[in-house]
Structure 1
Amino acid sequence: MPQKNIDFGKYGARGLKGSEAVARKLDELAGGITTPVTARRGLMARLHYLTRTAHARRAARDAGLTVTDRTLKAWLDGGRRPSKASLDRIEQAYRSVRRQNVARHLLRRLNASGGTRVEIHPLNQSQVPRPLQRVVEYRTMNVRRWDRIVAAWAAGDYQGLDDAWTDTIVDLGSQWGQYEYVTNVGFAA
């Protein structure tokens, strides 16, 4: 697309891709266990979430948690402590399984009543020299179809999420390229 920013931040602008901000907000809406995985309580909560049913165990294995049943039992009993790499895999598996479990419900909430109002906060240009700054303002829009966005988020497909979000912000009009990078994207469902 012609509006893609190739050298973002070259003159000091700061922000993140809009699709990353959307993914963060969807993670926040999905909720979940807030205690860190490094704390015993957080670890136990995640392990119970990932092992309480056969379906959850299969989803955890598909998400990358491939340890033996014996190791899992030792972790649950407190006999052994997972390594840092295992803690990272547990956290990633938990996030992946949680996304899959809440995606349908979240999609229904976001599409209800004709869509969800989205606030887009422009990128931070405070470090950009004055003559190079663009006039970029706070914008709002109503996103009516969240299907592609939520499906890409639930699958962990960040390129697909970026493409879906870019197709959505085109509705902002001819200046949509100014909102590829933002400081925040906010919405509630």
Structure 2
Amino acid sequence: MPERNVEFGKYGARGLKGHEAVARRLDALAGFVATSVTVRRGLLARLHYLTRSDHARQAARRAGLTVTDRTMKAWLDGRRSPSKKNLDTIEAAYRTVRRHNVGRYLLARLNREGRGTRVEFHPLNQSQVPRPRQRVIEYRTLNVRHWDRIVQAWVEDDDEALDDAWVSDVVVDLGSQWGEYEYVTNVGFAA
């Protein structure tokens, strides 16, 4: 069984770790607010999401947004603007709460009652690698039936756990050549 890549990109190969591509895809499926938090519309969308109920406010506090209700109301009314630090805190809290809220839904959609979801592995880009050092790496697909550890690590924003879950639960199922797919240009799946 191959080991993990130690010197990725040494000869010019380009790509990203598979778990990072998975996190990007899960983020896209989560449907985050597209407008930046620095724009009034984006700020209001995030604040409304974080304050729409007592449960949402508690989750926002647990995620690190610990301003007073008076300050929050001033932001919502437009009487005051959050500092750069508070904008970063609002964005982080919004992403944490949104991931937590959609995690269970995404897990059910991806597992599909044990049928799983087809995942496409797009191989790394070797266009900058000298011809004698290029490998033949094919586009691959795999049906992933168990997404529990992957989605849980994504919800918790735990990069190391996501990498471990992705490699040990999915990539090794590609067979003896799984090391070729540790880095990819893209990982595609739908939910």
2:174 to 172, 177, 182: 172
Give how far 1:37 is off: 1.1
Q: Which digits, 9 at most, give the CA deviation of each residue in 1:35-84, with x for residues without a partner?
A: 22111111001001001112111111111212222221211110111122
Contact 2:63 2:96 in 1 (8 A): yes
Paired residue type of 2:190: A
C-alpha deviation, 1:10, in angstroms:
1.1
* Equivalent residue number for residue 111 of structure 1: 111
- Output the TM-score relative to the length of structure 2: 0.95
- How many Å separate the matches in 2 of 1:2 and 1:179? 11
CA distance in 1, matches of 2:32, 2:6: 35
| Equivalent residue number for residue 124 of structure 2 | 123
Residue number in structure 1 paired with 2:148: 147
CA distance in structure 1 between the aligned counterparts of 2:33 and 2:129, rounded to whole angstroms: 39
Measured in 2, the distance between the counterparts of 1:9 and 1:64 equals 37
Aligned to 1:25: 25
- Name the CA distance, whole Å, in 1 between partners of 2:59 and 2:142: 35
Identical aligned residues as a percent:
74
Q: Show structure 1 runs of 5+ residues with no match.
A: none
Q: Measure the CA separation in 1 of the matches of 2:59 and 2:134.
A: 47
State the Cα deviation string for residues 80-119 of structure 1 (Å, max 9, x = none): 1112221111111111100000111110010115100000
CA distance in 2, matches of 1:30, 1:5: 30
Distance 2:180 2:104 in 1: 31
**Structure 2 counterpart of 1:64, one-letter code:** G
Query: 1 CA distance for matches of 2:67 and 2:16?
Result: 35
In the TM superposition, structure 1's runs of 4+ consecutive aligned residues that sit over 4 Å from their partners are: none
Q: Bigger CA drift: 79-88 or 176-185?
A: 79-88
- Higher mean alpha-carbon deviation, 86-95 vs 99-108, is at 86-95
Report the count of equivalent residues. Answer: 189
1:80 alignment partner, SS class: coil
Cα distance in 2 for partners of 1:65, 1:13 equals 41
Give distance in 2, aligned partners of 1:162 and 1:98: 21
Unaligned runs of 5+ in 2: none
Distance 1:174 1:103 in 2: 31
Q: How far off its partner does 1:2 sit?
A: 4.8
Q: Report Cα offsets for 1:3-32 as digits up to 9, x if no partner.
A: 211111111111111000000101111113
Q: Matches of 1:162 and 1:171 in 2, distance apart?
A: 15
Letter in structure 2 aligned against 1:16: L
Partners of 1:71 and 1:188 lie apart in 2 by: 40
